């Protein structure tokens, strides 16, 4: 019998690569999507016949549409919207294009690919979508306005989809994965000095992916890996807005 297919964006490094390896071990064929075709080919070779590389820049509309068409595969059982990046700097003076690209990737692309994936999943009443958001989606941080805003959108979008699936396709699961600081290439690309973040706040990439897949098995909507981050989210989201905003005025990255 044909194996179920899992599509993972941002699969050339970090959480995306780990998702691909762990899902292949669970018996999925995996579709690896990212810009770096050479890196994808290497990872696909390591995973074996279960892996298919698909090089695409998901901030480019034509590439996004090409991936969306591939998601029409009737074997698609899981979509992991993992592709993302962050930039540092005050919004008013930061270069505009990286901000626009972030919105294209975190919002437009997630919307488009999720729409493509859910069409078949809802018809079959089977499947799942994991949107990799962030603890930053519950908070705000100076110097990361677009990142926090787009991750907040991803969480809200996932919650709304969950409500829709309960009525239209109850066997389709959606999840917002919301990790905190995680050891991946992300912070190197964003030029964030890891030494400015307390060590107790860091998570391993493997623990994040394991928490996500365990949550998926239970049909959990919001997954916040790490007890420390669960407490942070639980506390800060219950604060009166003026108190929360005052607290958000300080963040580890402010010590640039």
pLDDT, tens digit, for every residue of 36-86? 999 999 999 999 989 999 999 999 999 999 999 999 999 999 999 999 998
- Dump pLDDT digits (tens) for 89-108: 999 999 999 999 999 999 99
Residue 188 confidence class, pLDDT cut points 50, 70, 90: low
pLDDT value of residue 242? 87
Mean pLDDT of the residues in the chain:
92
**CA torsion through residues 77, 18, 40, 187, sign:** positive
pLDDT value of residue 191? 55
Span 236-248, average pLDDT: 86
Span 128-149, average pLDDT: 95
Cα-trace Rg, the chain? 18
CA dihedral 81, 83, 87, 91 (to 10 degrees): -40
Span 130-152, average pLDDT: 95
Q: Choose from 36-50, 117-131, 195-209 the range with maximum mean pLDDT.
A: 117-131
Q: Does the pLDDT at position 11 exceed 50?
A: yes
> What secondary structure, in 3-state letters, does 95-106 show?
CHHHHHHHHHHH
Residue 141 to residue 8: CA distance in whole angstroms: 28
DSSP code at position 107: I
CA atoms within 13 Å, Cβ hemisphere of 34? 28
* Tokens matching residue 149: 């805003």
Q: Taking the CB of residue 136, how many other CB atoms lie within 10 A of it?
A: 22
**CA torsion through residues 37, 43, 45, 50, sign:** negative
Measured CA angle at 209 (ends 208, 214), to 5 deg: 100
CA atoms within 13 Å, Cβ hemisphere of 207? 13
Active-site residue list: 147
Measured CA angle at 40 (ends 36, 46), to 5 deg: 155
Residue 146 to residue 148: CA distance in whole angstroms: 6
- Dump pLDDT digits (tens) for 213-237: 999 999 999 999 999 999 999 999 9
Residue 159 phi/psi, 5-degree rounding, is -60, -45
Residue 13 to residue 177: CA distance in whole angstroms: 17
Fold observed for domain 5-255: Rossmann fold (3.40.50)
Q: Which residue has the higher pLDDT, 64 or 201?
A: 64
Residue 15 to residue 78: CA distance in whole angstroms: 15
Residue 15: strand, helix, or coil: helix
């Amino acid at each position: 019998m044909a194996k179920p297919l899992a599509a993972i964006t941002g699969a050339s490094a970090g959480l995306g690569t780990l998702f691909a390896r762990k899902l292949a071990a669970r018996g999925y064929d995996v579709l690896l999507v990212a810009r770096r075709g050479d890196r994808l080919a290497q990872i696909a070779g390591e995973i074996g016949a279960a892996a298919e590389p698909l090089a695409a820049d998901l901030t480019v509309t034509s590439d996004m549409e090409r991936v969306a068409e591939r998601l029409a595969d009737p074997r698609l059982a899981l979509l992991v919207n993992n592709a993302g990046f962050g930039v540092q700097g005050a919004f008013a003076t930061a270069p505009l294009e990286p901000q626009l690209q972030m919105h294209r990737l975190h919002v437009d692309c997630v919307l488009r690919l999720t729409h493509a994936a859910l069409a078949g999943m809802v018809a079959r009443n089977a499947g799942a979508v994991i949107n990799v958001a962030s603890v930053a989606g519950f908070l705000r941080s100076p110097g990361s306005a677009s990142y926090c805003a787009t991750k907040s959108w991803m969480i809200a979008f996932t919650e709304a989809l969950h409500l829709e699936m309960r009525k239209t396709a109850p066997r389709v699961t959606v999840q917002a994965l919301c990790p905190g600081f995680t050891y991946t290439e992300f912070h190197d690309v964003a030029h964030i000095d890891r030494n400015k973040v307390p060590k107790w706040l860091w998570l391993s990439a493997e623990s994040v992916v394991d928490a996500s897949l365990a949550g998926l098995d239970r049909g959990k909507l919001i997954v916040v890996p790490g007890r420390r981050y669960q407490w942070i989210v639980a506390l800060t989201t219950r604060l009166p807005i003026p108190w929360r905003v005052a607290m958000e005025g300080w963040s580890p990255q402010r010590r640039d």
